[in-house]
Each structure stands twice: as C-alpha cells, then as structure tokens.
Structure 1
Amino acid sequence: MKTATTAPALERAIRILNLLTQAGSPLSGADIAKQLALPRSSVHGLLMQLLQTDLIRKTDERHFVLGAHTMYWANGFLAQQNIVNDFQTAISRIPELDSYTLTLSALSGNQVVYLACRNSQQAPLGFEFRMGMQLPAVFTATGKVMLSTLPQDEILQLLPELPPPYTETSVRNHEELFAELETVRRQGYAVDNGQLRLGMHCFGVAVTDYSGRAGYGIAVSLIEREVNETNRSQLVSGLKKLAQSLSASLGSLTRSR
C-alpha cells in the first residue's frame, strides 16, 4: 500500500524532474501540468524554484529541460561508486568479451538504471545503451537476474502489475515472470531473448556485495542470429569471471556458479 508523503512539494518536484528526464525533449509548464495531472499554479511555482537551483533550465520562454546541477549530483553518485571504475578496468582483462556490448546496471524500483556501458563497435546492435538510461527490469537480462534474488512478495510490491510489453517475446504476466526467475536461479544467469528489442539477445549475471546482496547486474548483448551454444557458453563464462572480479572488489565472499 502506498503511503502518503509528508512533503508533497518535494514529491511533485521529483515527479517533474523524472518527467523531464524521460521526455527527451523540452516540455512547457502546461505540458508538465497536464501529464502529471497537477494544478498549473503549483507547477509554475515549483518550476521557478527548480530554475533558481539550476536543476532545470529554459530552452526558450516556455519550455524546460534538465539543468546542469543534475549532472553534478550524478557525478557525485558515480564518484562514490568504485564499481564503475572497477567495471571499466575488469572488462579489459576478459578477452572473450572484447567484441561485445557490455553493461553495468543497478535496480531502481522496478527499473534498471545503467551505470556504465561499452557499446560494441565491431558488432553494432542497432541499439545504444547510455549511462543513466532506465528500462523496465522485467525485460532486461540484468533486471531479471537481480529480481531473481528477491523474495516473491517483494517482487510483487515492486511490480503489482507488469509494464506493457516492448516486443512479442516480452514477459506478460506474473506467472511467466516467476517461471523465468526460477530458471535464472537454477542456471545462474538470465536471458533477454528479444524482450527489450527484437533481434537483440542478452545474458545477465549478478554482482554481489559483502552481504551477499545482488546490488548490481552485468550483461553482454549481441545480435540474436549470432547466438549458438558455443558462444553462449563462452560469454556466460566470461560474464561470471567479470562478476566474480567485481564481487570481490565489493567484499563478497561468494563465487559465481
């Protein structure tokens, strides 16, 4: 059950910032009020406060985008996450992953947020992962592998309803999701078989910290027609080496299966 916030102005400001992040193009105050179902007067006041703190900026007299101060926060967050530097260093030591797209992500509610990406130049996917990108966890390999470590009741709290499918292979209900997560637990890695984008295939492995919690996920992505049993085995093995290295840097004593 959702609890009422004790700081409604803060909640509305966060909703505005989230909307501008997702929009990808400038929005007017009227657009924001309409999409968030908020009073225009309330939105106007919050926009003025966000402008003063450089959390948003104007592109013209009526339209707004995120401001530079959000990058200051993002850089501050990443500066505390040695995992990003460790990821960039570790991937250079695993040659079997050299020619593929690799991503590092964390679970944020029912979304995965990408902390680091290396998009392949040798085998382009027609899809570019970007730092800060958020996608539904249930359609991604890293999302599935992190969700698989949670108890079912916690998953249901995060996902009382599944998001609309992205493709014809996307998981569509809790029954399908829980069956997939059980497979992930059994085999030790997750698969996105075109659920995020048709023609793209991803394998994901969890990264655990000192407490054994799967705080991060790493994935390798390639074109679906390139997948066969030989490279599946090689790629999953390479991912598990990478996960073991990153988990060790976080103080984990566990080993990838």
Structure 2
Amino acid sequence: MGRLVPAVTRALDILELFLDGDGTLSAPDIVRKLQLPRTTVHELVTTLAARSYIVTVPGEPGRYRLGVRPYQLGSRYAEQLDLAAEGQQVAREVAETCDETVHVAILEGTDVIYIAKVDSTHAVRMVSAAGRRLPAHCTSVGKMLLASLPGPELAARVPDSADLVAMTPNSITEPAALREALAGIRERGVAVESRESNPDVSCVAAPVRDRSGRVVAALSVSVPMIRWSAPREDELAQLAVKGAADLSERLGYRGAGR
C-alpha cells in the first residue's frame, strides 16, 4: 500500500464532517473539530469550494454545506451497485458468524425471489437456491417485505378475497390473519417464520433499505428445527438485523434521522 497524502486525507476529513449535525460548518468549526491550523483549513476549504465539493450557505457567507459534486459521485456509485452481489457478500459474512443458511430476497407481486444465498456448513441444512420463487406470505423474508408496503399497496396485492396457498400445515392462509401477523412484524422490526414454507425449518428476517430509506429486500437466517430454540431465535434475529443494516449501508442508507 502506498503512502497516504496528508492534504488529501485532510480534505476528505473535512467532507466527512458534513455527514453529522445539520450538515453545515464554518471554518472555525472545522479548525476546532479537526485540530488543524486555520491557514490549512482556509486553503482546503477554498479548494473544495472551487471544485464544487462545498458551497456557501445562502445568507450565511461564513458557513458551508456540501455542493453538487459529492451528490454526482454518490449517484454514480449508486448506479453501479448490484444488490445481488452486495447481498451475497453480506450473506457470506452473516453465515460465517452463525454457520446457518442466509438468504437475501426481493418482492415481486406476492412472491419472493431469492437473489443471494450462502449455505451453512452443517450436514443438516436448507435445500434452496438463488433464483427460487416462493409465496411471500409463507416466508420470513416475504412477510418482512409485505409488512413494509404502504397500506393501499398491501391491500391491492393481498385483498380480502386473496387465496393464500398453504405450503405446510403452519402456513397462513387467511388474509386477515396475515394482516395481523404483519402488524406484529412492523412493531417488532423482524419477521419470524416457523415451519411455514418447510416443515423442518424456521427463519428470521430483517429489512434492507436503499439510500432513500425504502425497503428493497430482506435478509434472513434459516435454521433446521433441530437447532432452533427461543434463545437461538433471539440471537439470530440480532444477526439478521445487523446483516440487513450492513447491506442497507452498502446501498447508501444512513439510518432514520441521519
């Protein structure tokens, strides 16, 4: 690895300061936060402003905010993101932590499509594959995604007259029961499926958000019933939430209120 260039490092440090607070800074703020000489900060701020990385706040000539250039770079980065590839990487990291099968799925109509999967190393594990399609209401990822839909959209996809197929005796088959389950999922922030798509498997899932905060996928951890328990469910729920948050961050999401 080559030597880091101090001036570039300091310029990037300044830009990253704008990620916190109200998104505006004065030169004295930068001096205080980074403990840099005033002359250095003045030169760096002048350079960043000249290249449209920062601009003065209207009506406040002594304060700066991010300019259009970071937005352009971020937009180009977002265009190059591949949800499946990013999901596969995060799924691998989660699977290495818990040694269980991890999926990432998206919603299409009333089905889910698995776009990434990493297997457990255990002899007893799920038999599934990326690209497989399942009824959303029978899976933890699907229920998580359905729970994230606006009310009118959910009603359009799953009307009162919907015929919900049963994959196992534990599958939800009544729209009213599904809506009740989805309400609980919204409140908890994670979805659990107990032998609803496979009589020998339970799963827990968490939502994945894009940079706008919209739920675009869900990440789940699937476990054969011989390794499932209430404490294990809680442990895996935390891992699913962390994995989904990591994937969301890769997609540009910075969290509510940030």
> What is the TM-score when the length of structure 1 is the normalising length?
0.63
Query: In 2, distance between residues paired with 1:124 and 1:97?
Result: 17
4+ aligned runs moved over 6 Å, structure 1: none
Match of 2:64 in 1: none
Q: Structure 1 residue 179 and structure 2 residue 180: aligned?
A: yes
Instruction: Evaluate the alpha carbon distance shift between residue 123 and residue 240 of structure 1 in structure 2; reply closer, same or farther with a 3 A threshold.
Output: farther
Match of 1:207 in 2: 208
Cα shift readout 1:123-171 (whole Å, capped 9, x = no counterpart): 533x422111110001010010011111232112112313321111100
**Secondary structure at 2:129 match in 1:** coil
Cα shift readout 1:190-249 (whole Å, capped 9, x = no counterpart): 011111011210101110111111100111101123222322122111111111111011
Match of 2:169 in 1: 168
Unaligned runs of 5+ in 1: 1-78
Amino acid at match of 1:219: S
Offset, 1:95: 6.6
Instruction: State how 1:136-151 maps to structure 2 within 5 Å.
Output: 136-151=135-150
Q: Percentage identity across aligned positions? A: 26
**Secondary structure at 1:215 match in 2:** strand
Amino acid at match of 1:211: S
Query: In 1, distance between residues paired with 2:238 and 2:178?
Result: 24
RMSD value, Cα: 2.0
Match of 1:250 in 2: 251
Whichever of the two has the greater Rg, that structure is: 2
Unaligned runs of 5+ in 2: 1-78
Instruction: State how 1:64-83 maps to structure 2 within 5 Å.
Output: 82-83=82-83
Q: Structure 1 residue 116 and structure 2 residue 116: aligned?
A: yes
Query: In 2, distance between residues paired with 1:130 and 1:231?
Result: 24
Offset, 1:102: 0.6
Query: In 1, distance between residues paired with 2:156 and 2:94?
Result: 37
Is residue 96–residue 238 contact of structure 1 (8 Å, CA) maintained in 2? no
Q: Structure 1 residue 90 and structure 2 residue 85: aligned?
A: no
Is residue 91–residue 97 contact of structure 1 (8 Å, CA) maintained in 2? no
Match of 1:10 in 2: none
> What is the TM-score when the length of structure 2 is the normalising length?
0.63
**Secondary structure at 2:168 match in 1:** coil
